Amino acid sequence: MLSLVLGGLSLVTALAFGKVPPLFQRQTSSNVTYSMNVTDCPGYALGSLQESDYGLTAQLTLAGAACNAFGTDIKDLTIEVTYASQSTVHVKVYDTANQQFAIPDSVIERPSPPTTSYSKSSDLVFNYDASPFAFWITRRSDPDAMPIFDTRISSLPPTPIPPLNASDPSTAFDAFPLVFEDQYLQIASALPYGTNIYGLGEVIASSGFRRDIGTDGGVGTIQTHWNRDDADPIDQNMYGSHPIYLEHRFNETTNKSSSSGVLLLSSAGSDIFLQTPPNSEVSLIEYRMVGGILDFYFFSGPTDAEVIAQYGATIGYPMWQPAWGFGFHLCRWGYANISEDMANVAAMRAANIPLEVQWNDIDLYHAYRDFTTDPVSFPGDQLREFIQQLTANYQHYIPIVDAGIAVTVNSTDVYYPFSDGIEQDTFIKNPDGSLYIGQVWPGYTAFPDWFGENTQAWWTDALRNWTEMGVEFSGIWLDMNEASSFCSDSCGTGANLSALAPLSVAGTVVTGYPECYNETLWGPSGNMTINGTSTDSCIPGTTTMEKRGVGAGGEPGININSPPYAIHNAFGPLSHNTLATNATHYGGYAELDTHNLFGMMEEKTTHLAVQSILAGKRPFLISRSTFPSAGKWTGHWLGDNYSKWQYLYLNIQGVLQFQIYQIPMVGADTCGFNDNTDEELCNRWMELSAFVPFYRNHNTYGALPQEPYRWDSVANASRIAIAARYSMLPYWYTLFANASTNGLPPVRALFYEFPDEPELFTVDRQWLVGSDILVTPVLTPGATTVDGIFPGRGSVIWRDWYTHATVNAIPGANTTLDAPLNHINVHIRDSSVLLLHQEPAYTIHETREGPYSLLVSLNAEGTASGDAYVDDGISYPPGPSTTLTFQASGGTLKIESKGFYPIVQKLETITVLGVQKPTTVTLQGQAAQGWSYTEAIEELVLSDVSVDLNGETTLSWK
């Protein structure tokens, strides 16, 4: 039991940390027999209510005999309700004695308490019943609608409800009382039948971006939040935890939608159930947590983008990205030496495939130790020279940093990151105060304690020393930070540290290929054709997806000793392949309570370190394990995916999910990480990834090389797609500026922009970049066409990005589009004005130095609008900026400039789509020279105009 472990360590740990930590005041339950059933739990009664201009505070008291279902019931609770803004209500329920773990404000900064009263004006209203206590959240603007969140038992389906999985009793719903125990919390809410739920990740859901709520033939969802290192599993917990969901609610009577959001800001291990019991008229969500408190935030929207922005205002908006971060990145595990890096960079340039950033995986290290370089393969002086050559060519370099720090094996083993960490007390401890030792690539490892008082300075010094050794990085890649350990528990404590050598992958050869390529017939090239014969053995549409059983946490042979409620961690025991739940942090915090915070806290620490080392420049980080607020500090890649067509599709939902989570700089390992890719799959993936925020090709050790120059067809497709991406950089950059200042998502599901079209609610094979660019990729092998829906039901004009021709779309249904191998379908929405780079170059710097062009796509009424944010692309904090606004109507385009950043580059070309053939065209009141008109696509083009974007400009046609 957890309490028995903690009871034996309190004195030692208190001495080790110099104080008695709050954790050890927690109620223990060593002499309690748990009922393992909530049927008889009495709930709570509300009293001692105090109202204020900002909300209310009250006491909750256990309403009967303790049930001790999976822990000891806590008798006295406090509830605080705060109307934080017009759109956000904060409901916090915690033990009055403050013994349960709550995320410290020092870890995630919360908004300041309101100074304006919103209790009478907020769109959300907190309602409650006193006994048994329950609450529900309604809209002031729609008071008769079903509540956004409703914990009343009378609103929920009748219980008991049999298990979803007959072999797993824990999937039953015995009853729906509010349960608040030291090791178990439970709360449930009714939802509209079959409503649309998105989020609750990180997950690769077999149901798609829209979560399975148990209707429409689905079985429901159990989303477990316990961060773990597993290669992109389907329907299981994985690298990150994000207990936030977006509900898109559609009223079939009015044919109108509204959206809301719910965040439970808790790092506790948990199961979140989405379910619709048989014969129920409502669906439900239930939270089951193994500790912590109930810390809810409710967001009123009412649009999807506004919900996401309101969430960002609560946990922090995303970091400012450097402009170069939007370039193409290249990496693999298996670049064996600096010569391979150099050859790779040269080959990319020889093929004229833009390369912005070269990365190195753990091959870089000496004996797999962080903050080192291999003296033979990557000598520091040669690496410095290589990186400085990249810099001279306006390119960049990013190395990997793993979370585990190697433990020295004897007195002659000199490794300062470890010895300095010991001296400065920066590592996680065992319960008895000794060093916690696990195992990762270098052998036995210690793990940084991000709560430690000296950890920030120690980590910054380690990174700074690395740069002085030659690793002059532009950004950092954080991996293995769930934290991942190759053994369970403190396996190195007391061991012979020299007996475990670093792991070796030498000689590893990957033999798997995508499902359409048979290497036993065609050999190891992965080519689409060999001697003129196609190697494709797939029938389009036959690739399949695997789905696990929902009972992983309760399957026979699974041994979860603590806590008593076994969340559905797919590894079973919570300490498997990660830190033990009783590992102890500075301040006495137990790993059980803080586990899900590890990656985010490393990201925060690293961001601040890089900000110090690269003074005046924006940090660029990509990381694996994430948690709410991580986007303030890092971007994210979608983990160790597979070179399968299935995962080409699945990475779209990952990108869409992380827009909700306020981590918009996200993308998958292009062409796949695990297994071998092949020519066709890599073609389609290089095209797709050019239209998501983070664009990196990366694969595993021993696999077929997959750099885009390896196949001529992939090189050709890559050049075309990257040229389009680099043209759009001003648009991408503006979207991310809006994310960093207002929390608006740069990548959007189609229904965000077209909320009242139910046919879009499950679409996750297409997406929008901002509001104006629609992307429709090929996701199946052997295809030369692709089906895609064009939102707007015929009210919107969509034009082809490449040809500017209008699409003859079928309203509300799929339209078939040509999609040859080197082509990804991209379309421009009407009513839009896009500032573009006219001459995409080899690097982002060179592209930004070139001229601009402007693309105006008029609607049927002849109007369009847009804006663009411009600054130097690198300064931290953001320095002077200029915002350009574009308005077109009545045959006139007006450009206005506001700000203090001087735009040196000229606007050279203006293209207006949707224009009837003009007879006169004027620019700044003078007859324009050199304009042309193409009647077939209603296109007016003005070339060589050399417009200064620092003032006001008027273009007219009639």
Positions marked catalytic? 479, 482, 640
423 Cβ neighbours under 8 A, 6+ residues apart: none
Tokens 């971060």 label which residue? 325
Phi, psi of 733 (to 5 degrees): -65, -40
Do 63 and 230 touch, CB atoms closer than 8 A? no
Question: Which amino acid appears at position 381 of this protein?
Answer: D
Which DSSP string corresponds to 310-357? Answer: HHHHHH-PPPPPPGGGGSEEE--TT--SHHHHHHHHHHHHHTT----E
What does the alpha-carbon distance between residue 607 and residue 746 come to, in Å, rounded to a whole number? 22
Question: Which amino acid appears at position 20 of this protein?
Answer: V
What does the alpha-carbon distance between residue 229 and residue 843 come to, in Å, rounded to a whole number? 34
Burial 854-888 (b: 16+ CB within 10 A, else e): bbbbbbeeeebebebbbbebbbbebeeebbbebeb
Local structure of 730: helix, strand or coil: helix
624 Cβ neighbours under 8 A, 6+ residues apart: 229, 239, 240, 478, 479, 480, 481, 482, 599, 636, 637, 639
Structure tokens at 568: 């559905």
Helix/strand number for the chain, H first, E second: 16, 48
C-alpha to C-alpha distances, 278 to 164, 213, 275, 284, 286, nearest whole angstrom: 10, 12, 10, 12, 16
The closest of 344, 361, 586 to 455, measured between CA atoms, is: 586
What does the alpha-carbon distance between residue 802 and residue 386 come to, in Å, rounded to a whole number? 37
Residue 170 region, left (φ>0) first, then alpha (ψ -120 to 50), else beta?
alpha
Q: How many CA atoms lie within 13 A of 349 on its CB side?
A: 13
Question: Which amino acid appears at position 261 of this protein?
Answer: G
Residue 66 region, left (φ>0) first, then alpha (ψ -120 to 50), else beta?
beta
The closest of 597, 565, 600, 567 to 583, measured between CA atoms, is: 597
Tokens 């808790």 label which residue? 266
Residues paired with residue 443 on neighbouring β-strands, in sequence order:
440
Structure tokens at 917: 């053939």
Do 809 and 815 touch, CB atoms closer than 8 A? yes
Tokens 């224009």 label which residue? 915
Residues paired with residue 923 on neighbouring β-strands, in sequence order:
926, 955
DSSP summary character for residue 366: B
